[in-house]
Amino acid sequence: MIRAGKSIRATPRTAAKAGKREAILDSALDVFSRYGYRGATLDQIASGAGMSKPNLLYYFSGKEEIHRTLLTRQLDAWLAPLKAIDPNGDPVAEITLYVRRKLEMARDYPRESRLFANEIIQGAPVIGEFLGGELKQLVDEAARILAGWSESGKIAPVNGRHLIFSIWAATQHYADFEVQIRLVLGSDGIGFDDAAEHLEFLFRRMLEPG
């Protein structure tokens, strides 16, 4: 028999290798999302991934590659909810669904949210091109849909772009400022159900025509 396993599926070796890369990326997400690019150290990332620094550098060429990998591979997931807005759906339902999806992302992927927050606060050196390109086009398109709904009286007259900003802000806030919210609420959890209810009420009331 001639090297069956190799070409048909990943060998245990390559599977393990991919697993190690994932472990590194997971640890790096912890560190970068908290301390930002400059504030993160390879030793900290390696330690979190349970390996030595040279070993980490066997899987990635350097600090920058890890950071870039984390940011770029999350971009599509970040756009998905915006792309999912259906121009033919019920306007208020589409928008409140978008809000809910974004809030769920803040709840389920808070570290990714903070990674982006750090990147943008720092001036978006890595994803700046993406923000001014692909993201801008998507927002333009969404704003056009919103304007259409607005003009046909299906929703209140709103500034589409600023509405999108408000949705981003209100939802991501629960991830980026998680610590503050915990401390201000004085409870262990964040109360995502309360937040969801509140945000749905907020944006529904805003959008209802008339």
Partner DNA sequence: AATAAATTTGACCAAAAGGTCAACAGCAAG
Partner DNA sequence: CTTGCTGTTGACCTTTTGGTCAAATTTATT
- Binding footprint of a second copy, residue count (CB under 8 A): 56
- Amino acid identity at 179: V
Residue 204 and residue 93: Cα distance in Å, rounded?
Answer: 9
152: partner contacted, choices DNA, a second copy, none (Cβ within 5-8 A by kind): none
CB of 26 to a second copy, least distance (A): 18
Q: Considering the rule CB under 7 A, would residue 22 count as an interface residue with DNA?
A: no
Q: Which does 62 bind (CB under 5 to 8 A by kind): DNA, a second copy, none?
A: DNA
- CA dist 157 and 151 (Å) reads 7
Report the site for DNA in 45-64 (rule: CB under 7 A).
51-55, 57-58, 61-64
Contact between 79 and 134 (Cβ < 8 Å):
yes
Closest by CA position to 207, among listed 149, 138, 145, 141: 149
In 10 A of CB 55, how many CB atoms?
A: 13
Positive or negative, the CA dihedral 109, 113, 118, 119 is: positive
* Of the candidates 94, 100, 81, 96, the residue with the CA atom closest to the CA atom of residue 171: 100
The CB-of-40 to DNA minimum distance in angstroms stands at 6
What does the alpha-carbon distance between residue 112 and residue 69 come to, in Å, rounded to a whole number?
12
Residue placing its CB nearer to DNA in the complex, 31 or 85: 31
Of 13, 38, 73, 144, the residue at the interface with a second copy (CB under 8 A) is 38
137 Cα distance to chain centroid: 18
What mask of x and - would describe binding to a second copy in positions 142 to 161, judged by CB under 8 A?
--------------x-xx-x
Neighbours of 5 (CB within 10 A): 11
Q: Is 120 in the site for DNA (CB under 7 A)?
A: no
Taking CB under 8 A as the rule, does residue 114 contact a second copy?
A: yes
Interface positions with a second copy (CB under 8 A): 33-40, 114, 117-118, 120-124, 128, 131-132, 135-136, 139, 156, 158-159, 161-163, 165-166, 168-170, 172-174, 176-177, 179-181, 183-186, 191, 194-195, 197-199, 201-202, 205-206, 208
> Under the rule (CB under 7 A), what is the footprint of DNA?
3, 5-6, 11-14, 16-17, 20, 40-43, 51-55, 57-58, 61-64
